[in-house]
Amino acid sequence: MPKSGVEPPNMVEDLDIPDKVRDELLSQGIRELYPPQADALQYALVGKNLVLAIPTASGKTLVAILGVLKKVLAHGRALYIVPLKALAEEKYNDFKAFEHLGLTVGLSVGDYDDLGRSLEKCDVVVATSEKADSLSRHDLNWIEKLSVVVADEVHLMHDPSRGPTLEVLLARIRTINPKCQIIALSATIQNSMEIAEWLDASHVTSDFRPVVLKEGVFLDGEVMYTDNTREEFPFLDDGVVSVVNASALAGEQSLVFVNTRKSTESLAERLGLYLREVLKKDELAALKDAASRLRRADAETTHVADKLANCISSGVAFHHAGLSPAQRRAVETAFKERKLRCIVATPTLAAGINLPAKRVVVRDVRRYDSMYGNLPIPVLEIKQMLGRAGRPKYDTEGQAILVAKTESQRSELLERYLLGEPERIYSKLGTEAALRSHVLASIATGLVAEDDDLVRFIDSTFYAYQAESWTLQERMDRALEFLEDEELITRDGKRLWPTKFGRRVSDLYVDPLSAVLLREAVQRAGLRDEVSDLAWLTAICTTPDLSTFFLRRSDYKIVGELAERHREEFLVEDVDEELEREDFLAEVKTGSMFSDWIGELSEDGISVKFNIGPGDIRAKVDNGRWLLYAASEIARLFSYNDLSRRLRNLEKRVSYGIREELLPLVSLKGVGRKRARALHAKGFRKPGDLKTATTDQLASIPGIGKAMANNIIQQVYGGEMPAETRGTTFEAEVVEEGQDVPATTEPTGKEPEPAADDGPSQTSLSSFGPGGGDDA
């Protein structure tokens, strides 16, 4: 609704924005606003809180950017919160396009124990909700300096894992800095008005889309659309193949969504058989080149990369969380460049980056839940997938298609998903895990000083807006009791104080239960002369912050035997009792993956053995190294200094996937597990040893090359290149394709096969049954 009955301006030239912003938009060809953008900007540009709930690809981001730019260019500061790292990079690049106007942009998605000092000079900070929460735990004053906060995908407050963090973060910002403007961007949901009322915000919602969306259901070679039109497709194999093949023949691209990783791969391979026949010779040549680049995208080649490259060469790719970041980027880039005709993905792509296509096909509307079996996918998620159909500026119409096998199923899909409303969203703050973490953070930061403060803060949350806060009282009491019993907080009547342990745990950004388990492991380790790597790697897997692999039927005997061989090493109170627990065996299995990783078993070896993808390895490594860092800090806090140092070394080994003897070599920039092993095999044990080498000698080592050799020599001489070591050329700070870096920094390039002394650790198991990765 227009504010004050006045029609809002729908032309960029009429907006109340700085002239240089207007000129920049006009130079980018943005002259006219979509109706919901015009409605929303009348609130966003005057500093009012706003909830904007409109469909995918309807221009939410531009509203947020203009709201931020107006504040920042008037000497304000902004925080842009996103749910995923991939989205953070995308929004960071969106703001970088305006940096020449006089603002600085920062991206923060990593180290949760970072004080954020490097961001202090940034006008705009783009961060995941977890990283923003972490920054606020370290310094509440940081929040006081904010002028505007954008909460992208705010409807994800209903997500059990991420939702409570975003909800508490917004409540904290509003408590500390009530004058800060909040711009919340949401998908179309039933109760977006509730979010607006909670945030004291203006509410703009619309079903407008710049590209018309035709939604329909495929059955027996025909799509029946909701506008009562029909479209026939030559039937090939099944509905998905029929639609995708027809799209490819017309020169159009398709996105296909299925419910498991295995399905993405098998369907992509099947589609490739048809698409190869459609593509022209020059298109196949371009795809062959893209497939070749994909194989070089990571430091190590895996069977997943080979399978993906083979699919890409046929014009199709699969996309899921098991791919490495470099592989996902390669797929997304090839699709944006219109080299690929189709991507088959799990729903994570729909929640991730902006990647629209002319046609979207959703094959699966049910997915498996370990507790409840096969469940219908929520309407909201299906709508997010379907909303990817139609490319603004390129298509006048997008087609979103569900696939049915029977007439009754077609009717069901039509009624539930195409004509039905997205679900209401609800706060997920009421879980004990969420409460104990956020209650501790509130006390540790000084936001809450006594019981009444805690009640008032909980009253400010979306949970309390939807339900009376007293319904949480019993769970809050249990959370407080746990925190007090485990000496994370102390109490003096109603007064609440964090202990040193509690304050450090809050800063470390781990679940308080994880911290307690790590503290117990540290105390047990302190009573021993020696603790094995496997013992520590299993200990971190016992925490709720690290999800363990599933145990398959064939795993029980193998993992049981491994656990029995190492029974005296584990940092547990009663090993006999633990060995009877299925969960403990899953923890040992997951710990053995870390053991293989630091034993330098290849990425492909781990992928095959545990039936996981490169992306899974990196996710586990990232979590594992952080928990080892937390354990080292807890050890240091309790004066186990030698143990703290050993844990820091183990953390670094997990980061790089190396044995201990390679630690000195990976201190060199650009040298990771493969290059370090290659240098070690040639007799170089530490950086100082490399002073005896010439660039030509180093360049001849597999995986090094001329540019990297120059880079290494420059580092070992502190930036100066002695004349006797120089090769024919010198490229400062250049690392050629194939650079080797720790897994947590998303490696790029290709490395040679491991040196002869590479191999699995002594705790390696012969094989595990299929499974272990998530179907995300």
pTM, 2 dp:
0.89
**Phi and psi (nearest 5°) for 635?**
-60, -40
**How many residues would you count in the chain?**
776
Long-range contacts of 26-33 (CB under 8 A, 24+ apart): 30/62, 33/9, 33/59, 33/62
Q: Give me the chain's average pLDDT, please.
A: 89
DSSP percent split of the chain into helix, strand, coil, nearest 5: 50, 10, 40
Would you say 179 and 143 are in contact if contact means Cβ atoms under 8 Å apart? no
Place of tokens 């990283």: 131
Rounded Cα distance between 77 and 335, Å, is 35
Count other Cβ atoms within 10 Å, centred on residue 552.
16
Match 């006081």 to its residue by tokens: 144
38 and 9 Cβ atoms separated by less than 8 Å? yes
CA dist 705 and 751 (Å) reads 11
Pairing of strands 78-82, 124-128: parallel
Q: What is the pLDDT of residues 502-560, one digit of tens each?
A: 999 999 999 999 999 999 999 999 999 999 999 999 999 999 999 999 999 889 999 99
Strands 359-362 and 254-257, sheet pairing: parallel
- pLDDT tens by residue, 45-65: 999 999 999 998 889 999 999
CA 637 to CA 529: how far, in whole Å?
A: 20
- The residues, ordered by sequence, that sit 6+ positions from 314 with a Cβ below 8 Å of its Cβ are 271, 272, 273, 275, 276, 279, 287
Task: Check residue 721 and give its pLDDT.
Answer: 52
Q: Which residue, among 236, 33, 262, 105, has the nearest Cα to 776 in the 3D structure?
A: 262
The mean pLDDT value for 667-673 works out to: 94
CA neighbor of 538 nearest in space, from 557, 552, 524: 524
| pLDDT (tens digit per residue) in 215-263 | 999 999 999 999 999 999 998 989 999 999 999 999 999 999 999 999 9
Residue 461 has pLDDT above 60, yes or no: yes
Distance between CA atoms of residues 486 and 442, nearest Å: 17
- pLDDT single digits (tens) 398-425: 999 999 999 999 999 999 999 999 999 9
pLDDT tens for 589-613 read: 999 999 999 999 999 999 999 999 9
What's the alpha-carbon Rg for the chain, to the nearest Å? 27
Tokens 């699919």 locate to 311
pLDDT of residue 155 exceeding 50, the answer is yes
Q: What pLDDT does residue 752 have?
A: 30
Q: Is residue 146 within 8 Å of residue 173, measured between CB atoms?
A: yes
State pLDDT tens for residues 74-110: 999 999 999 988 899 999 999 999 999 999 999 988 7
- Both tokens of 337, joined, read 């460049």
- pLDDT, tens digit, for every residue of 349-401? 777 678 889 999 999 999 988 778 889 999 999 999 999 999 888 889 999 99
Which amino acid is present at 426?
Y
Q: How far apart are CA 361 and CA 524, in angstroms?
A: 54
Amino acid at 303: H
Asked whether the predicted pLDDT for residue 29 surpasses 60, the reply is yes
In this structure, the strands spanning 495-498 and 489-492 are antiparallel
pLDDT, one tens digit per residue, over 737-765 is: 333 434 333 232 333 333 323 333 334 44
Reported confidence tier of residue 616, pLDDT bands at 50, 70, 90: very high
Nearest CA to 123 out of 96, 141, 85 is that of 96
Phi and psi at residue 81, to the nearest 5°:
-100, 130
Query: Quick check: 734 and 512 in contact, CB under 8 A?
Result: no
723 pLDDT tier (thresholds 50, 70, 90): very low
Query: If pLDDT is split at 50, 70 and 90, which confidence band does 42 have?
Result: very high
Q: What is the 3-state secondary structure (H, E, C) of 389-448?
A: ECCCCCCCEEEEEEECCCHHHHHHHHHHHHCCCCCCCCCCCCCHHHHHHHHHHHHHCCCC
In angstroms, the CA 230 to CA 224 distance is: 5
